[in-house]
Amino acid sequence: MKALEGIKILDFTHVQSGPTCTQLLGFFGADVIKVERPGVGDATRKQLVDVKGADSLYFTMLNHNKRSITLNTKTDSGKQVLEKLVKECDVMVENFAPGALDRMGFSWERIQELNPRVILASVKGFGPGPYEDCKVYENIAQCAGGSASTTGFRDGVPMVTGAQIGDSGTGLHLALGIVTALFQREKSGKGQKVLAPMQDGVLNLCRVKLRDQQRLKAGPLEEYSQFGEGHPFGDATPRAGNDSGGGQPGKILKCKGWETDPNAYTYFITQAAVWKNVCDVIGKPEWKEHEDFATPAARLPRLNEIFDAIEAWTMTQDKFDVMEICNPLNIPVGPILSMKEIAEEPSLRETGTIVEVDHPERGKYLTVGCPIKLSDSPVDVERSPLLGEHTEEVLTEVLGYSASDIESMRTDGAI
């Protein structure tokens, strides 16, 4: 038994944001039916190709646990099939450019007419307002949601982050909206529209930066290293480099081997509760009681001096040894792990967070399994479907079409 067993998802998503969402629902046991254009499919199938002729990792890693049917929804019979799918499914998920679904003839009103219990879940770049008609990709969302202006170094350009907070982050938000709407439907009996704009999703993840924006009115942000460096604050939350975003100062520091290994670094947090342990580890016992260092407030203007001293110690240690030494002393530290190290980490394989999948076109590859663990809903990661692999199966088993219906749809170019 899986959590979402029996729930049918009409997956009309493409690229990354929508597919991330429906893949999660698939991991939880929903029957996800991905609708793709005949002969073309989701554009990511053939983007960033590494194995000639095979679906790309971009596609395979975002479309596990789904069935694929091809359907040209701009033909009459294609539209009829889509109507049947809307009637049959619990949720329709899409992330087309604004207006595309309406142009296809599937407005919210029409969808409700077809199935009042269906939930229509959409990712768009922006919510209602001046930019609602814009097409949006990951980095635009990071820029418009406040992430880029607050990421990077004070004296550098705004930076986008490697974590796909605009696409995958919004997909996560949408998945929560969908299961919440399903829960409400239990009581109301009705479907509803769920909208997750990418700008809103990114801003939600940048909540602490809006916190800091408002704190600026009360004076400089003392936990930012620019405070100790004597650089005045402007009227907007600045970029904070690798400063910790919370109340416990932290920084990325060099470890042994940093000269040749780009990831020989550790994140080190000078948590107030264990300050004395930090002083002992770095060989500065005199700082425990010294008036310039003993309290968090006294330390704030001296963070660079403090982190320089800590780094003088971390540079003598391997990043994993820093963890071995600091963990028993309750000092929060974390090695900077490369993707290679993560891919090879046995404990992540054991928890199903990194999974090896076999694919008929490309052979074995690694993917990220379900990052949310439910004790009563085990996840079996299944390979992504080939384009249209389940067209006949879905048309017959789910929608009840006959072999001759399917043949004429093929002749019409509908599937």
Kindly list the catalytic residues: 167
Site string for ligand COA, 37-76 (x = CB under 6 A): x---------------------------------xxxx--
Site string for ligand COA, 80-119 (x = CB under 6 A): ---------------xxx--x--xx---------------
Nearest-CB residue to ligand COA? Answer: 97
Strands 250-254 and 119-124, sheet pairing: unpaired
Q: 139 or 248, CB closer to ligand COA?
A: 139
Site for ligand COA in 375-404 (CB under 6 A): none
Alpha helices in 158-206 (DSSP H): 168-188, 198-205
Site string for ligand COA, 122-161 (x = CB under 6 A): -xxx---------xxx------------------------
- Count CB atoms within 10 A of the CB of residue 187: 7
Pick the closest to residue 383 from 8, 33, 21, 63 (CA basis).
63
77 touches ligand COA by CB under 6 A: no
CB of 135 vs ligand COA, minimal distance in Å: 4
Q: 41 or 249, CB closer to ligand COA?
A: 41
Structure tokens of 196? 């997750």
Task: Single out the residue of 9, 35, 69, 89 in contact with ligand COA (rule: CB under 6 A).
Answer: 35
Q: 95 or 149, CB closer to ligand COA?
A: 95
- Count CB atoms within 10 A of the CB of residue 142: 28
- Count CB atoms within 10 A of the CB of residue 276: 14
Q: Which DSSP category does 411 fall into?
A: H
CB–CB of 282/313 below 8 Å?
Answer: yes
Q: 26 or 171, CB closer to ligand COA?
A: 171
CA distance 161 to 8: 34
CA distance 84 to 96: 20
Structure tokens of 284? 């500065």
Q: Which residue has the tokens 């007419």?
A: 113
Residues near ligand COA, by CB under 6 A:
15-18, 35, 37, 71-74, 95-97, 100, 103-104, 123-125, 135-137, 167
